[in-house]
């Protein structure tokens, strides 16, 4: 099993290019990030080329977080902002060779106008990403951590993928969020395997290293591998002790268990 370091949560004491280098040093097979836009794309690309690590994805900007924003794509009336965020992510992602753009939905009332805005923004994102050879990811996020988030169930995400019919639109299957919202991870993964584009892990309920909490990832990911999953799994967790390197005791044993 291959593992990707989510450098939005890991190695945060370092500048982003050095986070990539640290991930390589510590044995990760790829990296992914959240919002790298303050760093020139050339610097990120240079670190990726130096280490040989692939950048699996990045997020669209969340908006005005001080005002409660957590994504823009489903916010009716703010379509121009949402499209600008998509265009920024696709342009930056293409410059660093990222495989995917995660389009963040945002907090909404869950109504028809929000859903229509979301689908229109996603269609635009898919069109732009396709021209760069990239894919678009949508991620169900749990409502405990992100109250009012528009997309919180895997089945809703699958409905959107089917309705839009875009070959480059896929689901980000985050085991932490899905366990909190719905559970039944193995069967839910199998049911939607064909439209899942990325997998992420973290302990539940504390979102720490994946060797603790209520999910046995060795068994869960073993089942995913048996179902044909071979891409790197994203380690998107918040180190319990604050130090990423100090909490990596899980990586070797989990890799060995899944060999």
Q: Give the pLDDT score at 103.
A: 99
Q: Give the pLDDT score at 145.
A: 98
3-class DSSP assignment, residue 236: coil
Q: Give the pLDDT score at 195.
A: 98
DSSP state of 107: B
Instruction: Tell me the per-residue pLDDT of 94-124, one tens digit each, with 9 for 90 and over.
Output: 999 999 999 999 999 999 999 999 999 999 9
Q: What percent of the chain has pLDDT over 70?
A: 100
Catalytic residue among 32, 115, 209, 236: 236
Catalytic residue among 32, 115, 139, 209: 139
Q: Give the pLDDT score at 66.
A: 97
Average pLDDT over residues 27-44: 98
Environment class of 165 (CB within 10 Å of its CB; exposed 0-12, middle 13-18, buried 19+): exposed
Environment class of 238 (CB within 10 Å of its CB; exposed 0-12, middle 13-18, buried 19+): middle
Q: Give the pLDDT score at 194.
A: 97
For residue 158, the number of C-alpha atoms closer than 13 Å in the C-beta half-sphere is 13
Q: Give the pLDDT score at 63.
A: 98
Active site residue 81: no
Q: Give the pLDDT score at 81.
A: 98
| Confidence band of 50 (pLDDT split at 50, 70, 90) | very high
| Confidence band of 3 (pLDDT split at 50, 70, 90) | very high
User: The pTM is what?
Assistant: 0.97
Task: Round to whole Å and give the CA distance between 71 and 214.
Answer: 29
Average pLDDT over residues 5-15: 98
| Confidence band of 137 (pLDDT split at 50, 70, 90) | very high
Q: Give the pLDDT score at 73.
A: 98
Which option is the CATH number for 3-257: 3.40.50.300, 3.90.1150.10, 3.30.300.30, 3.20.20.150? 3.20.20.150
Average pLDDT over residues 161-187: 98
The answer to whether 173 and 200 are in contact (CB under 8 A) is yes
Active site residue 236: yes
Average pLDDT over residues 180-191: 98
Q: Give the pLDDT score at 226.
A: 97
Average pLDDT over residues 185-189: 98
| Confidence band of 161 (pLDDT split at 50, 70, 90) | very high
Spell out the domain ranges in the chain.
3-257
Instruction: Tell me the per-residue pLDDT of 75-101, one tens digit each, with 9 for 90 and over.
Output: 999 999 999 999 999 999 999 999 999
């Amino acid at each position: 099993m291959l593992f990707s370091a989510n450098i939005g949560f890991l190695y945060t004491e370092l500048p982003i290019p050095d986070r990539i280098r640290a991930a390589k040093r510590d044995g990760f097979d790829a990296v992914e990030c959240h919002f790298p836009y303050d760093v020139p794309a050339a610097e990120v690309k240079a670190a990726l080329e130096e280490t040989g690590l692939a950048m699996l994805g990045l997020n669209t900007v969340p908006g005005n977080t001080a005002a409660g924003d957590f994504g823009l794509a489903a916010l009716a009336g703010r379509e121009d902002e949402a499209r600008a965020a998509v265009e920024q992510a696709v342009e930056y992602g293409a410059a660093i060779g990222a495989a995917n753009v995660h389009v963040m939905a945002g907090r909404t009332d869950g109504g028809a106008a929000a859903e229509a805005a979301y689908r229109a923004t996603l269609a635009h994102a898919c069109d732009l990403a396709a021209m760069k050879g990239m894919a678009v990811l949508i991620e169900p996020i749990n409502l405990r951590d992100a109250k009012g988030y528009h997309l919180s169930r895997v089945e809703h995400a699958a409905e959107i993928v089917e309705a839009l019919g875009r070959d480059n639109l896929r689901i980000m299957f985050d085991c932490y969020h899905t366990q909190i919202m719905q559970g039944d991870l193995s069967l839910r993964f199998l049911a939607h395997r064909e439209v899942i584009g990325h997998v992420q892990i973290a302990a539940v309920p504390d979102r720490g290293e994946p060797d603790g909490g209520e999910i046995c990832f060795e068994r869960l990911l073993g089942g995913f591998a048996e179902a044909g999953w071979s891409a790197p799994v994203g380690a998107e967790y918040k180190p319990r002790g604050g130090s990423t390197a100090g909490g990596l005791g899980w990586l070797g044993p989990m890799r060995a268990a899944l060999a």
